Chains A and B, each alone.
Chain A
Amino acid sequence: MRARAETALITAGALALAFALFGLFLLANRLNPLEVYAVLWLGGFGTSFSLQATLTQAAPLMLTALCVAIPARAGLLVIGGEGALVAGGVCAVLAGVAAAGLPAAMGTVLVCAAGAAAGGAWIAMAGALKHLRGVNETISTLLLNYIAIALLNHLVSGPIRDHAVSLKVTSWSIPQAYMVDAIPGIGVHWGLALGVLACLAAYVLLRYSVPGFAIAVLGGNARAAQLVGLPIGRLTLLACALGGAAAGLAGAVEIVAVHGAASSSLVVGFGYAGILVAFLARQNPLAIVFFAFLVGGISASGGLMQRRFDMPDAATQVLQGMIFLCVLGSNALYGRLRVFRVAGAGA
């Protein structure tokens, strides 16, 4: 309880600092911070419509953030969400096209499963390289991002290109029946529900299941895990595969809920934004839901801020960067604040 309160307070403090610094930045650019923040609120959270826009932005972020958070539990720093999403999107399309005659619900599930599997395999590759050859997973997943995007572009403009669509370079489409609509009443696609469910599942899995516990031990101290006899290789692969599956699922969701086919529109930075969300949430899957919502809201309001103040859209990026830096810096405060110290503990 004390720990949770400490986390909440320090995070809130970091966020407040970031918003204050951004306010100074706005002043330096001759803008009124209060006006800007009012519009940020309006555009991200102030009307039912804004909330819809925010949730639309947040949905993929929840899944790509898991791609960082789950391997982080095992002590790995994976930044391959973008690549796993792309791999998931491509395989989702291939599965949908290959298995075209199934009943709608089954087809949708198959497409999503294919996407998740592809994403999982993509990051698991990095996990295997780490375990077998000691290749640093941050670098390898970074490189795999670029490779995945290059493969996507190559496939989509050639081997799996849909030539009937002459105005855009896009792949074959999955059957229309496999596509899903918006969640009734909310105006946001089903990816949102999948994202929330995935975060819940990840939380439960990591905290209350045996493999989850083993992963946490590995993340805490790799040598200790080895001494205790845990199967390090398998756990590494598992953590990577689960994280990658989440991002791959995000790719599949883009296919079944938004585009219907793969194209360069899959590469819009969801993976990298997911890294931000995961760190803000301190790798906690439940907190990811909240921070995806927050980051989504900032992104969603960016457009309104652009239009109202003639401000470059990069302003939201500056704000997000400041938030990220402040939250990271605030890590130093844990265990230092007197009010949270356990009585009798050393100074």
Chain B
Amino acid sequence: MAGSSFDSRRRFLNDAGRIVSAAGLAAAWPTLVRAQGKPITVGFLYTGVRQDYGWNQAHTVAARQIGKLGGVKVIEQENVPETAEAEKVMESMIRLDGTRVLFPTSFGYWPFILKIAAKYPDVLFVHAGGLWKEGDPKNTIGYRGYMEEPHYLCGIAAGRMSKTGKIGFIGAKPLYFIFNNCNGYILGARSVNPKATCQVVITGDWNNPVKEAEAVNSMVDQGVDVIVGNCDSPKVVIETAERRGVYSCGYHTDLSALAPKGFLTGAEWNWGKGADFVRAWQTKGTYPNLLRGGFKRDMVNLSPFGKAVPEAVRAEVLKARQAFADDKLALYQGPLRDNEGNLVLKAGQRIDNEDNKYKLGVKFLVEGAIGKTGLAR
């Protein structure tokens, strides 16, 4: 009895939907047909605005690249919160727009991806985050670059260009990848200036222009003259630094246009790797379920150098970049102390750049950092 009443409820909803949609469909038919045409439709979901000079922009840059592939149509939706709505948006793209490859571009979408991936085996879900593990649906991919590597390069530039030997790092939330980026930045700076120190400020929000601007001002008041901001949109950080007359490094995407005088270089994602996955899905080829890498796997990029950076520093930075690509340079190697005096790595110890487990567990800031992670060790 219960079964049939549930069935009839579903049928009722279905019938109701069909009946009432007649008029709507008639009007929307042309647009519907356009969406379910021949080319494969690829859908992008953003938590924020596409043109934010930050996280989302890095993805929309990739979306453009993917859109240039033959036989691909890209649709995008902004401001999708990380709640049950995300699940419905993804399903809406699949059911109403005929999307076959989805790029949900924010961490918080992962649980919802897992929920619906099994329901839609002919759709590929490509998540910007390395969360995939054995047992997860085969039509999902997690991919993410190791941003600590380009941060190391920014650190080299910062260490060479800083006149006070004080650099600054603004982070949004106390998460492992923020700490790794911060450590990379400091290690890079200290590799050229062993006495460099780094002010670390955590604002607590992915997006809070007033707090980010205040953080820059406080840092510059303390003598910091190179700042990098790890928040969703570092635009405010770069612009405020430029106005205070100090150097800045970018994050996510190419921000050099924002600070013509003070921009050094920046850490950029190369989400364009996603094009390989789309190709694979189109041609029923193979693809990895989990792809993480740094310069070696071409998953990250360095922003173009700013005017202020002299040739010698550029050469040094590019040399280190090559060393990462050739796997000759390891970010974390002993002897390494944290900023509370503990020995984290003994002399001779070397953490492979792709040792994800170690990086996930990073709860410390390296020596030279002024600040705390706030996490118990």
Q: Judging by beta carbons under 8 Å apart, are B10 and A53 in contact?
A: no
Chain A residues with CB under 8 Å of B91's CB are 49, 53
Q: Chain A interface: which of B150-158, B171-179, B263-271, B312-320? A: B171-179
Other than A47-B21, A163-B375, A308-B31, give 5 A-B pairs with Cβ distance below 8 A: A38-B24, A38-B27, A184-B6, A185-B13, A258-B84
28 contacting pairs across A/B (C-beta < 8 A) = A35-B27, A35-B31, A39-B28, A39-B31, A41-B21, A43-B92, A43-B96, A46-B21, A47-B95, A48-B17, A49-B17, A49-B95, A49-B96, A50-B17, A51-B13, A53-B88, A53-B91, A56-B84, A167-B110, A167-B177, A168-B107, A169-B174, A254-B83, A257-B84, A263-B108, A265-B81, A265-B108, A268-B85
Q: Judging by beta carbons under 8 Å apart, are A158 and B374 in contact?
A: yes
The number of inter-chain residue pairs (CB within 8 angstroms) is 134
- In the bound assembly, the distance between CA atoms of A167 and B128 in angstroms comes to 11
Q: Judging by beta carbons under 8 Å apart, are B16 and A52 in contact?
A: no
Q: Judging by beta carbons under 8 Å apart, are B27 and A153 in contact?
A: no
Q: Judging by beta carbons under 8 Å apart, are A306 and B24 in contact?
A: no
CB-contact partner of A167 in B25, B80, B131, under 8 A: B131
A263: nearest residue on chain B (CB-CB)?
Answer: B108
Interface readout for A148-187 with B: 1 if CB under 8 Å, 0 if not?
0000010001100001001111000000000000001110
Chain A residues with CB under 8 Å of B10's CB are 185-186
B363: nearest residue on chain A (CB-CB)?
Answer: A163
Interface readout for A249-269 with B: 1 if CB under 8 Å, 0 if not?
000001001110001010010
- In the bound assembly, the distance between CA atoms of A46 and B20 in angstroms comes to 6
Q: Judging by beta carbons under 8 Å apart, are A304 and B88 in contact?
A: no
Chain A residues with CB under 8 Å of B82's CB are 265
B7 at the interface (CB under 8 A from A): yes
- In the bound assembly, the distance between CA atoms of A210 and B97 in angstroms comes to 53
Q: Considering only CB atoms and an 8 Å cut-off, how many residues of chain B contact the other chain? A: 55
Q: Judging by beta carbons under 8 Å apart, are B9 and A189 in contact?
A: no
A257: nearest residue on chain B (CB-CB)?
Answer: B84
Chain B residues with CB under 8 Å of A299's CB are 85
B14 at the interface (CB under 8 A from A): yes
A169: nearest residue on chain B (CB-CB)?
Answer: B173
CB-contact partner of A157 in B17, B32, B173, B360, under 8 A: B173
A57 at the interface (CB under 8 A from B): yes
CB-contact partner of B107 in A52, A167, A185, A258, under 8 A: A167
- In the bound assembly, the distance between CA atoms of A27 and B18 in angstroms comes to 30
Q: Judging by beta carbons under 8 Å apart, are A303 and B92 in contact?
A: yes
Q: Judging by beta carbons under 8 Å apart, are A157 and B28 in contact?
A: no
Q: How far is the CB of A172 from chain B (nearest CB, A)?
A: 15
Chain A residues with CB under 8 Å of B108's CB are 168, 263, 265
List which A231-287 residues lie within 8 A (CB) of chain B.
Answer: 254, 257-259, 263, 265, 268
Chain A residues with CB under 8 Å of B25's CB are 42, 46
A345 at the interface (CB under 8 A from B): no
Q: How far is the CB of B173 from chain A (nearest CB, A)?
A: 5
Chain A residues with CB under 8 Å of B81's CB are 265, 268
- In the bound assembly, the distance between CA atoms of A263 and B97 in angstroms comes to 31
Q: Chain A interface: which of B70-78, B187-195, B223-231, B286-294? A: B70-78
Q: How far is the CB of A251 from chain B (nearest CB, A)?
A: 12
CB-contact partner of B77 in A38, A57, A307, under 8 A: A307
- Interface pairs A-B: 5 shortest CB-CB: A38-B27, A48-B17, A46-B21, A46-B24, A53-B88
B170 at the interface (CB under 8 A from A): no
Of the listed residues A34, A259, A307, the one surrounded by the most CB atoms of chain B closer than 10 A to its CB is A307
